[in-house]
């Protein structure tokens, strides 16, 4: 059994405005960690819109915002709608380069820490561990908003790293990272502190996700249309095409059941399909369903 709704958050106050302010604080302090996407950021922006603050809303208010779909929050409403003003709330988000540096620092630190533990365990068993377990240099690739960052992280101390672009180590960002008691990371980057939580370490179907200062950051996996995978847990209900079928871009090849709903899966490029899983199979995020031999692999561009 699964349900997309897993909790409620209530706020109270002497009046509506006080209750709203308490809810804003509660949402900003709320931390949900794990491989799960939530509406926390979206709701926190909604309730700070001027029309919501002034209680100038009706049952069509949210529909109008969703219809405009400007970064999830409508900046301008259609003429005649209730929403007449844009938000005056300043959303504190960082630039993509900073998010990439923070993500790379976390990955490099975790790799170094895991390598040290494995190195000491080998010594404890009387074995000679490989030197690469205590490597001071970690290469990290991250994709954010269709931009691939190829970074090299050099460990300068127990908690200190220099993050540079591959091929240009002369220009780097100095970071200092420490693990918090609740599993988060306190990272100092060029004199500015950031608190980050890894909500998903990522796999072959999805990239790493993290929350930085209440802002959700989702890195993308490498674009590989030859591997047909699912990014959600479910069940392979039906194969829509036989093994060896030739499919055109956008054609469905399978149906999966997710939370009592049936979803079609479509190929992203044109090619010949080869099945790797059977009908009725239970699927986990990242599981390989089939492979696709592309007709024109030279036309596929990566980030």
8 band by pLDDT with thresholds 50, 70 and 90: confident
3-state secondary structure labels for all residues of the chain: CCCCCCCCCCCCCCCHHHHHHHHHHHHHHCCCCCCCCCCHHHHHHHCCCHHHHCCCCCCCHHHHHHHHCCCCCCCCCCCCCCCCCCCCCCCCCCCHHHHHHHHHHHHHHHHHHHHHHHHHHHHHCCCCCCHHHHCCEEEEEEEECCEEEEEEEEECCCCEEEEEECCEEEEEEEEEEEECCCCCEEEEECCEEEEEEEEECCCCCCCCEEEECCEEEECECCCCCCEEECCCCEEEEEECCCCCCEECCCCEEEEEEECCEEEEEECCCCEEEEECCCCCCEECCCCEEEEEEECCHHHCCCC
Average the pLDDT over 241-268 and give the result. Answer: 92
Average the pLDDT over 26-34 and give the result. Answer: 74
Separation of alpha carbons 102 and 116, rounded Å: 21
Chain segment 260-286, per-residue pLDDT in tens: 889 999 999 999 999 999 999 998 877
Chain segment 140-193, per-residue pLDDT in tens: 999 998 899 999 999 999 999 999 999 887 889 999 999 988 888 999 998 888
Q: Which two tokens stand for residue 236?
A: 């392979």
pTM confidence score:
0.58
**Mean pLDDT, the chain, whole residue set:** 84
pLDDT at 71 over 80: no
């Amino acid at each position: 059994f699964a349900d997309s709704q897993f909790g409620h958050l209530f706020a109270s106050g002497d009046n509506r405005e006080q209750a709203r302010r308490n809810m804003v604080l509660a949402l900003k302090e709320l931390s949900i960690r794990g491989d799960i996407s939530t509406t926390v950021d979206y709701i926190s922006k909604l309730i700070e819109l001027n029309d919501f603050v002034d209680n100038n809303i009706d049952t069509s208010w949210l529909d109008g915002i969703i219809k405009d779909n400007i970064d999830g929050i409508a900046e301008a409403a259609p003429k005649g709608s209730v929403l007449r003003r844009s938000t005056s709330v300043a959303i504190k988000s960082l630039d993509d380069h900073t998010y990439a540096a923070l993500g790379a620092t976390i990955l490099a630190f975790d790799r170094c820490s895991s390598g040290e533990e494995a190195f000491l365990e080998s010594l404890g068993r009387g074995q000679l561990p490989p030197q690469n377990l205590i490597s001071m240099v970690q290469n990290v690739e991250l994709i954010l908003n269709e931009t691939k960052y190829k970074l090299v992280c050099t460990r300068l101390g127990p908690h200190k790293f220099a993050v540079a672009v591959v091929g240009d180590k002369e220009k780097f960002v100095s970071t200092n990272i420490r693990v918090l008691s609740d599993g988060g990371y306190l990272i100092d980057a060029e004199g500015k502190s950031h608190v980050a939580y890894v909500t998903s370490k990522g796999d072959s179907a999805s990239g790493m996700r993290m929350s930085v200062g209440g802002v959700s950051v989702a890195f993308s996996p490498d674009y590989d249309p030859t591997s047909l995978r699912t990014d959600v847990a479910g069940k392979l209900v039906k194969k829509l095409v036989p093994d060896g079928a030739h499919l055109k871009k956008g054609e469905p090849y399978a149906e999966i059941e997710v939370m009592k709903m049936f979803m079609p899966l479509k190929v992203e490029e044109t090619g010949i399909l080869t099945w790797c899983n059977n009908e009725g199979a239970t699927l986990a995020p990242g599981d390989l369903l089939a492979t696709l031999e592309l007709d024109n692999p030279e036309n596929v561009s990566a980030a």
